[in-house]
Amino acid sequence: MSERTGVGTRDFLLPDLGEGLSEAEIVEWRVAVGDVVTVDQSVVEVETAKAVVDVPCPYAGRVVALHGAAGEVRPVGQPLITIAPLDGGGTPDPHATYREEERAGSGNVLIGYGTGHGGAGRRRRRPRLALAPEPGAPAPAAPGPALAAGSPARTDPLTVAATSVPAGSADRTPDPARRGDPASAPLVISPIVRRLAREQGIDLASVRGTGPGGVIRRADVETALAAPAARLAAVPDAPEAHVGLVPAGDGDVVVPLTGIRKVIADKLSRSRREIPEVTIWVDVDATGLLETRAAINAATPDAPVSILALLARVCLSGLRRYPQLNARVDTEGQRIVQSAGVHLGIAAQTDRGLVVPVLRDAQRLTTGELAAALAETTAAARAGTLPPARLTGGTFTLNNYGVFGVDGSTPIINHPEAALLGVGRIVDKPWVVDGQLAVRKVTQLSLTFDHRVCDGGVAGGFLRHVADCVERPALLIANV
């Protein structure tokens, strides 16, 4: 996305970094006014409601303006950076504009969630520490429609303290106890590292940097998390130390509804508002399923299969028989769209909140491939390394809330899907087997479905098929 804004100059507009995302927050500029950039060079790191993403610029030339400051939210389709052609048409050296943090390896990220260690709530907007200017580089500009060379720097106390570091040195986070001695302050380059330390309550003065020249990297902060003495004591007059929490009087705490929490709230509200959902459930004896899993893993110890993978296989079998549930309602077109492939969503709880990574065309995978894909996907979701494209486009969701120790739920459908299967914990319960009371492994299955796509007969048939396969896995094998 671009538009021309003058003789030879081009504005690179903030693109849609995920399906339907309307804005992104600037985390860190990778370049400054006056820098030379090459085609597809990363120029800024932004945070959307789904991920932290490095944004590459499609143009080569010299940076003449940065539109927005760190911490500012920019809408999709608005100017992000303005590029002018090089004088004389020379070819820029792609290595000339590498920032110090890339050379120091201080925790920068590629496409994905970034560090993934932040809490689910987003912090309040607050001034960020400015990077110390490199020799000959222009001073950072004040936030506004565009940052141009020669603009005055911000004068808040944090910025003044940060920019008082001698030019050419790494950025140093000021420690209140040593504010008068910048040379003794901890060496921190990456805003991501500073943010992680702040959110986890880590005093950077107590962290030993292992990067070049003693630079504190993300790994150093993560190591310090294991040391309780490194955590800062709560400061009564500094409520922003509690990330995203704002005192509201009488001891109340207000959590700003921003970032991923806002996306979750909007999506679930829309689901409840638009979808006439119904939940049905059944208790099932999962003893046979557990025995089948044990037999499979004994036969293939190098490729273990999880209960989640077997449940996913059961869902795929049910959707093959009842494709009405693998669908969505197109309200504008007044039609129901049944998907040709099953793009299976797996609800996963992460530090950033609830996300639903998707396995596309899951019906094409073997049970072993399903197990491997599920393990990789859920691990990547919790680590925060999945790109936004992996978090959208699902057609049916499997939610194993039994891992939280609960028996049942009436889950909300992941809009615009038409159904979701929830699985409770598997526990020992009395069960009648062949007329005799026995102790069996019992779980509860809950199906929430959109009553517009089908009636109770279809939904009940699907849930009964799933329950029968859980109780008698031979039925699953016969239908694969």
Q: Count of CB atoms within 10 A of residue 107's CB?
A: 24
CA atoms within 13 A on the CB side of 184: 8
Tell me if residue 343 is catalytic. no
DSSP letter assigned to residue 103: H
Angle 377-380-381 from CA coordinates, rounded to 5° = 85
Cβ pair 203, 188 in contact under 8 A: no
Distance, in Å, from the CA atom of 162 to the CA atom of 117, rounded to the nearest integer, reads 25
Residue with tokens 């197990």: 371
DSSP letter assigned to residue 156: S
CA atoms within 13 A on the CB side of 419: 32
Distance, in Å, from the CA atom of 307 to the CA atom of 7, rounded to the nearest integer, reads 62
Closest Cα partner for 44 from 86, 82, 81, 13?
81
Of residues 242, 415, 451, 465, which has the active-site annotation?
451
Distance, in Å, from the CA atom of 145 to the CA atom of 476, rounded to the nearest integer, reads 60
User: What are the E-state strand segments in 325-435?
Assistant: 327-330, 335-338, 344-346, 348-350, 353-355, 358-359, 396-399, 419-423, 427-433
Which residues have a Cβ under 8 Å from the Cβ of 126 and sit 6 or more positions away?
71, 240
Q: Which residues are catalytic?
A: 451
